[in-house]
Amino acid sequence: MRVLVTGGAGFIGSHVVEALLALGHDVVVLDDLSHGTRELVPPSLPFIQADVVDWTRWIRDIGPVDVVIHLAAQVSVVAAEGDPMSDVRTNVEGTVSVLQAARALGAREVRFASSAAVYGDNPRVPLAEDDTCAPLSYYGLDKWVGEQYVQFEARRGGPQGVILRLANVYGPRQRTAGEGGVVAAFAEALARGESPVIHGDGHQSRDFVAVWDVARAFTHRLGDPEAQGVYNIGTETATTIHELWRLMARVAGADSDDVRYGPARPGDIRHSRLQIARARQWGFEPRVPLEEGLLKTYQDFVRRVRASS
Ligand SMILES: NC(=O)c1ccc[n+]([C@@H]2O[C@H](COP(=O)([O-])OP(=O)(O)OC[C@H]3O[C@@H](n4cnc5c(N)ncnc54)[C@H](O)[C@@H]3O)[C@@H](O)[C@H]2O)c1
């Protein structure tokens, strides 16, 4: 299949591109490189540097595609709090633009990267797809609005919409600024021999899912006419930030007492864990154990820190 990946030069996108190529698909990448890196995209692939919002310009360079995987986004919860209009532009207008482009390019499916942030601080754990969404952050709200557009277009005869609500994704190539960046922040501090900061009391918990599992979800049964609507993608396992830090210090051979505390972040959710029964029925199962994923992530940061010094 011919697949357009928006945000393909970013953290998750570059892993999705690798997974698509391994399955033998033809891939086109679009990214404005605002946060992505050109070097993460294989030089042999067609690459369009453009803002997703300018779809009437960039579709001329693409040609027909079967599927669009839409990952391009402003991913910082904190940045969205400081500049909600800019978040609306990239994450809402950008998604509407990609849906228009997908229709014009003849795509039969749009696969959209949403987030557990759409649930807000819903106290039910684990959260299922039909639980109430009440986002607490502009970022979560804009992802939720994006989901509505994806489903709206599908109802109106546009490409079928498959929405993946991602838990906290971690892995090699992650930046420390994005959503779920705590693993990256810990890995970077450990690789530099510095003590990291835990925001809040450390008892908040998250469902950490490895980027290789997420890439498998994005490439799972592409174009499957049975697939539609929302799928939670996580591990169904909660890990507190304290536990995460202890695990990471252990894989790095560091002292877990060497940590500092800072204020909680605005819009941060207390506990987040996703139920993945629907994804399981669809045939998706996370495979990467947390400790193994953390070790590979730490090793990647050690390489990056060495390369930059
Ligand atoms: N990392 C997580 O834990 C997580 C969790 C839930 C959802 N997501 C979603 O997954 C997707 C990928 O996130 P990521 O963690 O890989 O972040 P990332 O910042 O590494 O990737 C996003 C990519 O989009 C590009 N981009 C940003 N604005 C753009 C624009 N206007 N036009 C074109 N390209 C643009 C960036 O340059 C970057 O390469 C995002 O939609 C994000 O909201 C991530």
pLDDT tens string 132-172 = 999 989 999 999 999 999 999 999 999 999 999 999 999 99
Assess contact for 62 and 45: CB atoms under 8 A. no
Name the residue ranges covered by the structural domains of the chain: 2-171+208-236+269-287
Averaged pLDDT in 10-residue chunks for the chain of 309 residues: 98 98 98 96 98 97 96 93 96 98 98 95 91 94 98 97 97 77 93 92 95 98 93 97 96 90 79 95 97 97 90
- Spatial distance between the Cα atoms of 192 and 307, rounded to a whole number of angstroms: 12
Query: Residues near ligand 1 with C-beta < 6 Å?
Result: 7, 9-13, 31-36, 51-53, 71-75, 90, 94, 113, 115, 166, 168-169, 175, 178-180
Helices 241-252 and 290-308, packing angle to 10 deg: 60
Sign of CA dihedral 147, 151, 218, 241: positive
- Spatial distance between the Cα atoms of 86 and 77, rounded to a whole number of angstroms: 12
Instruction: Supply 187's token pair.
Output: 């890995």
Q: Active-site residue among 119, 139, 149, 170?
A: 139
Please tell me whether the overall predicted TM-score, pTM, comes out greater than 0.75 for this model. Answer: yes
* pLDDT value for 99: 98
* Cα of 7 from ligand 1 centre, angstroms: 6
Residue in 14, 38, 75 to alter for ligand 1 test, most ligand atoms within 8 A of Cβ = 75
Tokens 């979800």, residue located = 217
Q: Quick one: fold of 2-171+208-236+269-287?
A: Rossmann fold (3.40.50)
Residue in 40, 47, 71, 144 to alter for ligand 1 test, most ligand atoms within 8 A of Cβ = 71
